[in-house]
Amino acid sequence: MRRKTLTICEICGGSQPSGTADFLVFHCLTFCSPGCLDDYRAADDVRRAEKEAPRATLSKSPRPRAA
């Protein structure tokens, strides 16, 4: 007996494609529409910028030397 694979959108949690012929696959993540993919990319860009911000400030300050 064959089983049908259930695919769920990473952003909205929907299981039906909306605005596309099929689900979009992006780095093994699935999205039901180009809008959900764009929302994911925007959120990922913000997350990466927040992650990089502390590194940029730490690299500019001199490290204290051990005595």
Say yes or no to pLDDT of 19 above 80.
Answer: no
pTM, two decimal places: 0.61
Say yes or no to pLDDT of 60 above 80.
Answer: no
- What percent of the chain is predicted at pLDDT more than 70? 75
Q: Which of 27, 39, 30, 26 is CA-nearest to residue 5? A: 30
The predicted structure's pLDDT at residue 14: 86
The predicted structure's pLDDT at residue 67: 60
Categorize the per-residue pLDDT at 13 as very low, low, confident or very high, splitting at 50, 70 and 90.
Answer: confident
